[in-house]
A = this chain, B = another copy of it.
Amino acid sequence: MGTVSKALELLDLFRRDRPQIGLSDLARLSGVNKATCFRLMTELQTYGLIEQIGAAREYRIGPAVLRLAALREEVAPFKSVVVPILTALAESTGESTHVSVLAGDRVELVHFVYSTQHGTRVMMHDADHLPFHASSSGLAILAHAPEALRERILARKLPKFTPQTQTDPAIIRARLDEIRRSGIAESAGSFEEDVHSVAVPLFNARSTCMGAVAVAAPSARMSDALRARIKAEIITAALQIMQLRGGIPPEGFALGAPPSIPSPP
């Protein structure tokens, strides 16, 4: 792994629940030598991807991302398109919704909207990226990802987040086939206990999968009726997003086809 990757992976340590980190912690968390860590951080800092603040001289994400994000949004609008649709979806289903994209070898959670209908709701748990094998979004994306990526992911040792997490590559592979068939991915408590989520993939203009929309509900609330409602609504949401972004589902992609097995695990 190159130096640049190492530096960028340092950025992954910054999350919603831990937005600023000191040098020593950074070295500890990353396993990178402190001196190296320091050098990398100063380099990221001179570009502005990182800034150093406060008396404790902690590091955090810097202002350069604003420019990059603005540029990205200009050339490939996403947030402006997605957020209204996500909001509507949260409204119509009464549950938390989110959209994630495939960035490099990770599924990144880029936006989420909470519904205000229920007192209990699925919170986004300070996670910034979702596991391929244990989240409905990850599964949806993995199912439609290029062969190479899928194999690369499944070759890794997959962490077991809950007792329900499936980590056997063979079984996951079979499940991906099923997801490809139905167009919809589900995950029940496989990433977080008591969270049941439903996701559909998003395709870009070249019909390659670049993300997913998902609805996540507390397991206790996930009745057959709600599941049916979510599936219907999430499909229209996904189609709207793809239409506005110029995305085209690949040849023979079935959105919402009835699964051959009654109900996924």
- In the assembled complex, which residues on chain B have CB atoms less than 8 Å from the CB atom of A106? 48
* B residues in contact with A128, CB < 8 Å: 67, 71
Taking CB atoms and an 8 Å cut-off, the chain A residues in 73-126 that contact chain B are: 74-76, 78-79, 101-106, 108-111
For A11, list chain B residues within 8 Å (CB).
47, 68
A181 at the interface (CB under 8 A from B): no
Q: Report the bound CA distance from A200 to B53 in whole Å.
A: 22
What copy number does this chain have within its complex? 2
- When each residue 3-34 of chain A gets 1 if its CB lies under 8 Å from chain B and 0 otherwise, what string results? 11101110100111001100000000000000
In chain A, residues 35-92, which have Cβ atoms closer than 8 Å to a Cβ of chain B? 39-40, 43-49, 51, 53-54, 60-72, 74-76, 78-79
- Shortest beta-carbon distance, A104 to chain B, in Å? 4
Interface contact A43-B4, CB-CB below 8 Å: yes
Please indicate the chain B residues that have their CB under 8 angstroms from the CB of A63 in the complex.
72, 78, 101-103, 108, 110, 210-211
Q: Is A2 an interface residue (CB 8 A)?
A: yes
Give which listed residue, B3, B60, B62, B68, contacts A65 with CB less than 8 A: B68
Flag if A71 contacts B4 (CB, 8 Å).
no
Q: A211 to chain B: which residues have CB within 8 Å? A: 63
Nearest CB to that of A7 among chain B residues?
B4
Q: Is the interface of A mostly helix, strand, loop or mixed?
A: mixed
B residues within 8 A CB of A47? Answer: 4-5, 8-9, 11, 103-104
Find A69's partner among B14, B68, B75 (CB 8 Å cutoff).
B68
Q: Which of A184-218 contact B (CB under 8 A)?
A: 206, 210-211
In angstroms, how far is the closest chain B Cβ from the Cβ of A56?
Answer: 12
Residues on the B chain within 8 Å of A8, using CB: 43-44, 47, 49
A223 to chain B, nearest CB (A): 32
Known A53-B206, A60-B75; further 20 A-B contacts with Cβ < 8 A = A5-B47, A11-B47, A16-B71, A19-B71, A48-B103, A61-B72, A61-B76, A62-B103, A64-B103, A64-B104, A65-B72, A66-B69, A66-B78, A66-B108, A67-B109, A67-B110, A67-B128, A67-B129, A68-B69, A70-B111
